[in-house]
Structure 1
Amino acid sequence: MRFRPRCDQRANCGVLFFVFLVPSTVVNFLWYASSNVSPNARKPLPSAILWQTSVDAYNMSLLNEVTDFTTLVDKTDFRFLINNRRCDDAQDIFLVIFIHSAPDHFQKRRAIRKTWGQERHLVDDPLRIVFMVGEVQGRDDVQKALERENYIHRDMVQGNFLDTYKNLTYKHVMGLKWVTYFCRQAKYIFKTDDDIFVDIFQLVTYLKGSSGLAPPRGLIMCFLIRNPYVKRSQRSKWRVSFKEYPGKYYPPYCAGWGIIMSPDVVFNLYLQSTQVPYFWVDDVHVSGTLAQRAGVNHVDFTNKLSVTEEEIFEWLQSPKLSRPYLFGHPDAEVDTIYALWNKTYWYYKRTGSRR
């Protein structure tokens, strides 16, 4: 991987002492407009025959070729309201990242695009990023803004389910579905949220150093939550009734803000999602129940993912230029994302190190 970072930031990051200029919106718009087809243009789906002979990890013959594309878990009228086949332009993609976002999180998506999510940072290890969102109800202004955003950036995927807490499993499985149908050449798949910072250079170096250019089969690596109680409190937004989940404990599952998977795991989780009743706590359902049914054993990545807000701010405020954390803490503010990126970029620029 040849390091060629470029830094974009806002002027009010505060913690740091340098400013980098960003390309103008006009230039970005012209570039995207010239390199992408009309948003209404639809490419035909691959044929079932090609599916069976394309990539070993994805045995598409196990899916119902007549109904599967329009099915999402128990939803039989599924369709992509917005879709971008972002992997069609490359035979080899090292990492594809699908990011859970909410329709009105415009600033969070902008921060990722202008910091760690810029695909051009990785010259020799192609990266693709897509944002997963659900449908907006009664907010035509938000939907139109989403469509304008997608027209410029071409990195949105929207499904026809309401974007709510109770529908997060649809969003998670839609990410697996999108990779299964549109990005099967990716060697690694990373699922995260739009409030997380990622040192993308260190992540790629870590994956290549620990697993090589291609991951081992059966890889699912995450901050592992073991034997968690089912939340029954009326005050919890994650409260689950005994009817919804009768057990006292969930199976071990991944914190949803950082899950690294091999292609076969993505496909097997997606395949299991077509056979298991819907459960709305997506992290539990996908990385717990479906993973258990697929016979997948988690790799605990806690030592890399576990970092507190206090540790992050201590690193930001330190005058020493020390190695960045691989990930930021969950629920990070937009300003924190920019500040983390700026110091991370400066670290690699000054040291030339990616380890």
Structure 2
Amino acid sequence: MEIDVERNNCWRRIPVGCAKKKTLFLLFVVTTLIYLVLNWEVTKSADFLERPHENHRIRLKPAASPSFDVLSLGPQDYKRLVDLNDFHFTLIEPEACKAPVFLLVLVPSAPNHLHKRLNIRTTWGHRRMEVKIVFVLGRVQDNNLQKDIENESEVYRDVIQGNFLDTYQNLTYKAMSAFKFVLYHCEKALYVLKMDDDCFVNMPLLLNFLKNDLSVYGTDNLFLCNDMTGSPVIRDVHSQWYVSEMDLSDEFYPSYCSGWYAILSPDVIFRLYESTQKLKYLSIDDALIYGIAAKKCNLTHTDFSRYTLAYRSLDLHFNGTYDSLPLLFGSPNMNPEQIKNCWLFFRSRPVAASLRGALGT
């Protein structure tokens, strides 16, 4: 009992024996805190690409060579596009990937968006030896517009066109034709960016991220985008996103990518393409390819929204509000003037060597 009393009174009376015990205890507490802080810093640095709202990190694999076998798709695959059995490219650039391509940029574009394509070519998409940009279009019924597209293709050598009619309901065909181009005509590209024609890319920083944070030799299992989780299937027949219960009975889509941009490794494109080819056609291309098909082949994307300007005011960016953010992409639905302003803004600023360095980790 005397020992217990002494222990209970140690913190009040602090005799010589108790002082040593208290010193050891405090030393243990301080040491533990230091360890936890240091360990948190290391973890924070290692997981700098972690999703902000759940434990979801990039899990890369060393790039295999080759990372996929297109012959495994069968001899009839080239002519098939989901439920189309007579697909072919009406315009294609067979020499597009003759030289090594570090980053292939696929830009689905409406046929009459010539001004948007020109804006990209003269801003963030200007010629770089290691980057190849390809604009993906569908068939048009206007002969004059078709002639304009063919002239554009002749001048810039960066337009491919599928034989499906270019409509909103056929966006899945357009996305799948872009993937088909990668697999059959540009299979040696190390990285692929699929990007809408109304968005901005901070290309110098993106290239540094791919080279310095990932690998100059490419990687496998790369699937980055802005996450869409908990999106309901729209049943309103007047909506452009309408899907009938006959086409899809689920009330919610699986977690998928908002399709205005996605960074992919070729092996991921192969798996998404192969999976989608076996599914029933849906016009909601993002949900079908990045959600339903991805779930079927056990692919998981990583949310990359912290590196985009999406859902932030563009005006605030230019007054210094977002200077501390390492932005790779602008917002969806930007007009050509906004894209040009973003390009001029980033062009005048130093380029961080990597996202890790830009975050100060």
Per-residue deviation, 1:220: 1.0
What is the RMSD computed on CA atoms of the aligned residues? 2.1
C-alpha contact 1:324 1:344 (8 A) present in aligned 2: no
**Equivalent position amino acid for 2:340 in 1:** Y
**Partner of residue 41, structure 2:** none
Is 1:330 matched up with 2:338?
A: no
**Alignment CA distance shift 1:354-1:184 (3 Å):** same
**Alignment CA distance shift 1:305-1:353 (3 Å):** closer
Residue pairs, 1:136-215, within 5 angstroms? 136-137=140-141, 139-215=142-218
Paired with 2:258 and 2:69, the residues of 1 have a C-alpha distance of 28
Per-residue deviation, 1:140: 1.0
Gap runs ≥5 in structure 1: 1-53
Per-residue deviation, 1:309: 5.0
**Equivalent position amino acid for 1:127 in 2:** V
Secondary structure of the 1:260 match is: strand
The CA deviation string for residues 112-132 of structure 1, in whole angstroms up to 9 with x for no partner, is 000111132xx5xx1111001
Secondary structure of the 2:173 match is: helix
C-alpha contact 2:309 2:327 (8 A) present in aligned 1: no
Match of residue 220, structure 2, among 206, 217, 222: 217
Paired with 1:352 and 1:196, the residues of 2 have a C-alpha distance of 20
Say which structure is richer in helix: 2
- Give 1 or 2 for the bigger CA radius of gyration: 2
Secondary structure of the 2:342 match is: helix
C-alpha contact 1:223 1:306 (8 A) present in aligned 2: no
Secondary structure of the 1:119 match is: coil
Per-residue deviation, 1:204: 1.2
Residue pairs, 1:1-355, within 5 angstroms? 55-65=65-75, 67-90=76-99, 92-120=100-128, 126-137=130-141, 139-308=142-311, 310=313, 312-317=314-319, 325-347=327-349, 351=350, 353-355=352-354
Per-residue deviation, 1:236: 2.2
Paired with 2:90 and 2:292, the residues of 1 have a C-alpha distance of 28
TM-score by length of 1: 0.77
Paired with 2:321 and 2:290, the residues of 1 have a C-alpha distance of 39
Per-residue deviation, 1:321: 8.0
Secondary structure of the 2:259 match is: strand
Paired with 2:286 and 2:257, the residues of 1 have a C-alpha distance of 6
Paired with 2:106 and 2:289, the residues of 1 have a C-alpha distance of 15
C-alpha contact 2:220 2:268 (8 A) present in aligned 1: yes
Per-residue deviation, 1:305: 2.6
C-alpha contact 1:96 1:186 (8 A) present in aligned 2: yes
C-alpha contact 1:86 1:155 (8 A) present in aligned 2: no
- Report sequence identity in percent: 35
C-alpha contact 2:205 2:328 (8 A) present in aligned 1: yes
Secondary structure of the 1:190 match is: strand
**Alignment CA distance shift 1:296-1:320 (3 Å):** closer
Per-residue deviation, 1:280: 1.2
Paired with 1:238 and 1:197, the residues of 2 have a C-alpha distance of 25
C-alpha contact 1:253 1:284 (8 A) present in aligned 2: yes
**Equivalent position amino acid for 1:60 in 2:** V
Secondary structure of the 2:234 match is: coil
**Alignment CA distance shift 1:146-1:304 (3 Å):** same
Per-residue deviation, 1:353: 4.8
Secondary structure of the 2:272 match is: helix
Secondary structure of the 1:161 match is: strand
Secondary structure of the 2:102 match is: strand
C-alpha contact 2:93 2:160 (8 A) present in aligned 1: yes
Secondary structure of the 2:116 match is: helix
Per-residue deviation, 1:235: 3.9
Paired with 1:339 and 1:104, the residues of 2 have a C-alpha distance of 23
TM-score by length of 2: 0.76
Q: Which moved more, 1:222-231 or 1:206-215?
A: 206-215
C-alpha contact 1:87 1:93 (8 A) present in aligned 2: no
Pairs aligned (count): 291
The CA deviation string for residues 245-277 of structure 1, in whole angstroms up to 9 with x for no partner, is 110111111011111111111111111222222
**Alignment CA distance shift 1:153-1:324 (3 Å):** farther
The CA deviation string for residues 55-93 of structure 1, in whole angstroms up to 9 with x for no partner, is 52121231112x222111111111101101344331x32
**Partner of residue 7, structure 2:** none
**Alignment CA distance shift 1:354-1:313 (3 Å):** farther
Paired with 1:129 and 1:233, the residues of 2 have a C-alpha distance of 37
The CA deviation string for residues 20-75 of structure 1, in whole angstroms up to 9 with x for no partner, is xxxxxxxxxxxxxxxxxxxxxxxxxxxxxxxxxx952121231112x222111111
**Partner of residue 33, structure 1:** none
**Equivalent position amino acid for 2:152 in 1:** E
Paired with 1:188 and 1:352, the residues of 2 have a C-alpha distance of 20
